[in-house]
Amino acid sequence: MSKLTHLDEDGRATMVDVSHKEENKRRAVASAVVTMHLETLALIESNGISKGDVLNTARIAGIQAAKRCDELIPLCHSLPLDSVQLSFDRDESLPGLRVVAEAVVTAKTGVEMEALTAASVAALTIYDMCKAVDKNIIIGPLQLEKKEGGRSGTWERER
């Protein structure tokens, strides 16, 4: 395992200097699982949640969160995102939804935190909009699925 990059030689928190790096296209995919009762899932799909369209609201929340990641996560670089996409896949085996967030940027540093933030805030939005009808909603795991670009190249989660 390599050393922690957000600490200086005296152990103080510091922002990583990426000024020497080349810009290149970077992509990250993250996912979050939202487990709920089947009846709640049916209400989401039929647009029967009283707060409104759950998945479109969660999509907007995830995109906004990715765009503001540097304001939420200390020492995170501000990135000019090229794209943030979210999808919501029904999974009856949970039962619930798999939230998948993809972030793309052309920059000097990776976009993993933006993808993870998008997936987590989208999942939290689903929880917030559905908590009145289902107190048993569970969020997790939240995880990075894949990253591409940069010096370390491509990494993909082992299945």
Block residue for tokens 């009808």: 133
Mean pLDDT of the chain: 93
Total domain count for the chain? Answer: 1
CATH of the domain at 32: 3.30.70.640
Ordered strands of the 83-91 beta sheet:
83-91, 96-107, 24-35, 138-148, 155-156
Asked if residue 39 lies in contact with residue 137, where contact means CB atoms within 8 angstroms, the answer is no
Question: What's the rounded mean pLDDT across residues 95-108?
Answer: 97
Report if residue 154 sits inside a domain.
no
* 135: exposed, middle or buried (Cβ count in 10 Å: 0-12, 13-18, 19+): exposed
In a domain, 49, yes or no: yes
Residue 88: beta bridge partners?
99
- Judge whether 156 lies within some domain: no
Q: Is 128 a catalytic residue?
A: yes
pLDDT band for 159, please (50, 70, 90 cuts).
confident
Residue with tokens 């020492």: 75
Is 118 a member of any domain? yes
SS3 42: helix
> Active site residue: 70, 82, 91, 128, which one?
128
The residue range of the domain holding 84 is 24-147
Judge whether 99 lies within some domain: yes
Assess whether pLDDT exceeds 90 at residue 123: yes
Whether residue 123 lies inside any domain: the answer is yes
Establish if 8 belongs to a structural domain. Answer: no
Residue 66's CB is within 10 A of a number of other CB atoms, namely 31
Residue 23 pLDDT greater than 90, yes or no: no
